Structure 1
Amino acid sequence: MSAPGPPPAAAPAGDAPWTPQPACALLLLCALGALLGRGWLRGRGARGVPPGPAPWPLVGNLGPSLLPRCLRRGGWGTARGPQAQLAGLAREFGSVFSLFVGPQRVVVLSDFRSVRDALVQQAEVFSDRPRAPLVSMVTRGKGVVFAHYGPVWRQQRKFSHATLRHFGLGKLSLEPRIIEEFRFVKQEMQRHGDSPFNPAPIIGNAVSNVICSLCFGQRFDYTNREFKQLLALMSRGLEICLSSQVLLVNVCPWLYYLPFGPFKELRQIQKDITVFLRQIIQAHRDSLDAENPQDFIDMYLLHAEEERRRDSSSSFSEDYLFYIIGDLFIAGTDTTTNSLLWCLLYMSLYPDVQEKVHGEIERVIGPSRAPSLTDKAWMPYTEAAIMEVQRLTAVVPLAIPHMTSENTVLQGYTIPKGTVVLPNLWAVHRDPAVWEKPDEFHPNRFLDDQGQLLKTEAFIPFGIGKRVCMGEQLAKMELFLMFVSLLQSFTFSLPEDAVEPVLTGRFGLTSAPHPFNVVVSER
């Protein structure tokens, strides 16, 4: 695999950058057009659509009409993040409101009732994905996360979910792989002794290896150069895709092909990841044993061959497999890694909760036996602590954007076909009508008077409906087994000289904690 190309060289000192003179005139014309057309855009909405802030032409609500609100509330770029800003707008316009990103209407759902009514009660209408140029260029409309809703998506998701279950998803048969991976986590953490260290690389390696064992039939050593590079490329790729420059591709698709800057870097990352994954697929093709499939790739290749014999136009192909593997690897690594990191951070900040979890581990499992999923029924406080971290952090705060496939009505409002829909899961999890003191960390909110676990309908960290996270069961297994193993083995604390951590996270496709160090002491 080749590394991403270096950044373009800086211009020599004294060479003034070339600035096209017509640019100023163009900006003036755009501003004039915006002023003249503002009334037109204000009235372009369909009758009965959800209310929202008045948009401007060209920029929609990314312009002056929304910017002052954002500045008053702290700004899009501050620690509060867009999810909190959107929750603030919901208090002003209602739990179902609309805004514009450029010319595109976006409807934001901010409470559990509206999210359930859309994604469950009207699932067929609200399960499509937006036709964003950047997403189309990166995924080619394939995979299971961003693919458009329809027969092909249903076939691919059904097969993928069934195959993952065959290899242990949600079953006790996957336990040994997770427990075995923790052995390497423990060794890595022990190497740091009583020195502070960033747990993110260790946790990320472990979670990725569980996915690798399911998809590739193998795990990678944490020092493996190609494995480390793949994780770094995926992390960097996600970061670039959410940068303001690259997001402009959705407005001007030709920017994607520019031979410099983040556009060139993103294409190089895609190329490098493609080489890595296609080499693995080809290796599986060369060693494929039809009588003894070892992993997801083997099962998919066999199924694709069978489908081709039956129907030459089948969607099952090595090309589609590549995008599904990418989805499983990226989505399965990023979300669970961040959830575990949030858990470690909150345990470090709330040592009293950490001690209660440890006490439950001692009573149910003891100091040496490896944890099992069967222990969950006897460990309600531990489960409640994990759930409370998930509630507060909302690792996928705005879910993955949905889109309506036809005109519909939601809670009395008209939602036109092609409307982008954002379920604000962060707002759902902090709705004061559902959660008492929603901004406080309080695991006992998930326990009844007898200390048993309470199931709360509005707790939906994995989403709901037809687009619910396919890896939900795997994520729950990893979270419980890894979290319990970590607290069975170590006590976590922040370094004495650590600054107070920012708990609002870094907004992206997922909400990751800002980098932090921990100190571990063995139990």
Structure 2
Amino acid sequence: MVLTSFPGSVGHSAAGGGRERTRAPAVQSGLGARRTRLSHDVGGVHGGLSGGVVALSEQTAEKRPPGPTNIPLLGRALELDPKQPDRTFLRWQRQYGAIYSVKLGVDTVVVLSDAALIREAFSKAASTGRPKGGLFEMLGVERGLILSTGELWHVTRRFALFHLRNFGMGKARLEEVIREQVDDFLAQVVAPNEGCPLDIDKSLDIAVVNIVWGIAASETLGITDERVLNIMNKGKELTEKTKRFNWFAFLPVLFKILPKSLTQVDVVLELFGYARKHLIMPVIEEHRRRFDPTAEPRDFIDCFLLEQRKDPHHFTDEGLVQTIRDMFNAGSDTTATTLRWIFCCLCARPAAQRRVQAEIDAVVGGSRPPSLADRQRMPFTDAFIMETQRLADIAPMGVMHVAEAAFELGGYTVPRGAAIAALFPAVHKDPRNFPDPWTFRPERFLDADGKLQPSKALMPFSVGKRSCLGEAMARSELFLFTTVALQRYNFALPAGCEHDLSRADAGGLASPVPYKVVATRR
């Protein structure tokens, strides 16, 4: 299950209003029929909502942003695309501009689609809250890294950052772990299928999960491990089941008055608890049996158990379970999905693939594998990855923030209790930020001298105080997977196949339309 969301998707917030404002230019929606389709398919809501969304509770009429007229009780909730709600938010953005408000059931939502406003909002301490209640409360996900708030969030995030760095995030140990997984992926999945069409989705998932699991539990999961395959299947089933909650959560009372056969709450709770019961808790209990507080901690779980002895109030067993689950969500689902897009773009844009390989050959050669130390001398490779992230927008609406105190933003007041999120596709496809936005062009991130030139409008890991905890690790994974694979292999689509870089019409993270690759030795 992916814990990205848009306003009302599982939590609850209050309602409110504001005054008319000059409309920002709408985001252009593509060039030609193919790009028009791409504008709809890829224009999702990013792993954090780059056109922010702010649910307001107590705003005066003169400060209400423009927006569609609301229907009593329902607002405009019934207009949301159930599979890709970001499409609906983008349509409203084109009509009402960079800041607008819309009522979704019991929530009033203000949507931001301006990079500067998103950075300003998410940099404020007052915006670090998370939504509460609804399905979040039922699942108990408010105890981990992603949805905890207040003192618990501060303590947990500080602890996680320190120990993830201790166990290699961005350091040599992590590099070894990543390279081992890339080697296993190439040896066990790619090599036996050279020259044949190959579906790499599931094996990519396991390879990336193994990196996180190795840091968390000092354990490696086999590509054919039944536990892993079952958990992945249950996770996909859970994602499908929870789609319906995007409707129920706008009116939380429905959970109480509708029969469970309709809401399927029990089924969702059982699926959500599967990984806890069959993987996470058994490993925690094994760690507890072997735990020696006088010995050097082996992994993240050992560190947590040690801290639990000092501070049992903040470091609970359920907190450990949810923190590990959050590490999986934030550290594996998103990275694996981005890698699927990277391989898709490599195959669909062979000229860019050849240029990355030329850079690998020039900087690394063939006598040793690429390393993180090579990255600063490989600007085009970094630019290729950035362009893939910009175009893919894998988490179109990310995770909502909540205002813990009122603050001013863009001429409006965001009241205490307002939910805040971002509509990143509106930023990443804005021609003012990225000219000709529907063209895949890595060179946009290079200057005239060919040096890397990042853009502040690119926010694949969100921004601010609650930006992605594992950003450094994810960047390392993406770089090493890409370069090690391309050093050894050419990747192409099967003969006669094409891919227009469009997005699969499904919920959860935005994945490319399914494809297969054909790998050949260089």
- Range into which the TM-score falls when normalised by the shorter chain: 0.7 to 0.9
Q: CA shift at 1:399, angstroms?
A: 1.8
2:195 counterpart of 1:180? no
Task: For residue 463 of structure 1, report the CA deviation from its aligned partner.
Answer: 0.7
Which residue does the alignment assign to 2:156? 156
CA positional deviation for 1:412: 0.8
- Counterparts of 1:153 and 1:88 in 2: how far apart (Å)? 34
Q: Which amino acid aligns with 2:382?
A: E
Equivalent runs, 1:72-151 vs 2, <5 Å: 76=81, 81-120=84-123, 123-147=124-148, 149-151=149-151
1:271 Cα shift?
Answer: 2.9
Q: How far, CA to CA, are the matches of 1:375 and 1:256 in structure 2? A: 57
How many positions carry a matched residue from both structures?
460
Q: 5+ unaligned residues in a row in structure 1: which ranges?
A: 1-42, 71-75, 309-313
The Cα offsets for residues 451-479 of structure 1, whole Å up to 9 and x where unpaired, read as 00002111111011111000111100100
The letter for the 2-side match of 1:295 is D
TM-score scaled by length of structure 2: 0.84
Residue 6 (structure 2) aligns with: none
Separation in structure 2 between the aligned mates of residue 116 and residue 267 of structure 1, nearest angstrom: 35
CA distance in 1, matches of 2:434, 2:208: 31
Change (3 A) 1:488 1:131: same
Matching of residue 56 in structure 1 with residue 71 in structure 2: yes
Shift of 1:92: 2.0
Deviation (angstroms), 1:84: 3.9
- CA distance in structure 1 between the aligned counterparts of 2:465 and 2:88, rounded to whole angstroms: 27
Q: Is the CA contact (8 Å cut-off) linking 2:379 and 2:452 kept in structure 1?
A: yes
Paired residues of 2:344 and 2:501 also in contact (CA < 8 A): no
Instruction: Give the CA RMSD over aligned residues.
Output: 2.1
Q: Please give the residue correspondences for 1:161-172 in structure 2 after superposition, counting only pairs within 5 Å.
A: 161-172=161-172
TM-superposed CA distance for 1:501, in Å, is 4.7
CA gap of 1:94–1:259, structure 2 versus 1, over 3 A, is closer
Tell me if the contact between 2:338 and 2:394 (Cα under 8 Å) persists in the aligned partners.
yes
Tell me how far apart the structure 2 counterparts of residues 111 and 384 of structure 1 sit (CA, whole Å).
22
Q: Counterpart of 1:99 in 2: which secondary structure?
A: strand
1:363 matches 2:362: yes
> 1:168 corresponds to which letter in structure 2?
G
Q: Is the 8 A contact 1:139 1:146 kept in 2?
A: no
Say which SS state the counterpart of residue 304 (structure 1) adopts: helix
Question: Do the aligned partners of residues 374 and 101 (structure 1) sit closer, same or farther apart at CA in structure 2, a change above 3 Å counting?
Answer: same
Following superposition, the deviation at residue 340 of structure 1 comes to 0.5
Aligned CA distance change for structure 1 residues 240 and 128 (closer, same or farther; 3 Å): same
Greater relative contact order, per chain length (Cα 8 Å cut-off, separation 6+):
2
1:254 aligned residue: 256
Q: Distance in 2 between matches of 1:240 and 1:495?
A: 33
> Does 2:231 correspond to 1:230?
yes
Matched, 1:427 2:426: yes
Deviations 1:239-270, CA, capped at 9 Å, x for gaps: 322x1257415522337982577434322212
Q: Which runs of 5+ in 2 are unaligned?
A: 1-56
- Distance in structure 1 (CA, Å) of the matches to 2:444 and 2:246: 41
The CA distance in 2 between the partners of 1:246 and 1:448, in whole Å, is 43
Is the 8 Å Cα contact of residues 349 and 494 (structure 1) preserved in structure 2? yes
Whether contact under 8 Å (2:346, 2:491) holds in the other structure is: yes
- Residues 180-204 of structure 1 deviation map (CA, whole Å, 9 limit, x = unaligned): 1111101211122222121111111
Residue 307 in structure 1 maps to residue 322 in structure 2: no
Q: Give the fraction of aligned pairs with identical amino acids, expressed as a percent.
A: 30
Counterpart code for 1:434: N
* C-alpha distance in 2 between matches for 1:261 and 1:52: 30
Secondary structure of residue in 2 paired with 1:191? helix
What SS is found at the alignment partner of 1:239? helix
Alignment partners' CA distance in 2, 1:323 and 1:54:
39
CA contact (8 A) 1:257 1:264 kept: no
How do residues 228-307 of structure 1 correspond to structure 2 at under 5 angstroms? 228-241=229-242, 243-244=243-244, 247-249=247-249, 251=252, 252-254=254-256, 258=260, 262-276=264-278, 277-290=280-293, 291-307=295-311
Distance 1:336 1:394 in 2: 12
Q: Distance in 2 between matches of 1:417 and 1:208?
A: 37
Q: CA deviation at 1:516?
A: 1.3
Q: State the partner residue of 2:469.
A: 470
Q: Where does residue 13 of structure 1 map in the other structure?
A: none
Letter of the 1:152 partner, please give it.
L
Mapped to 1, the partners of 2:258 and 2:216 lie a distance apart of: 30
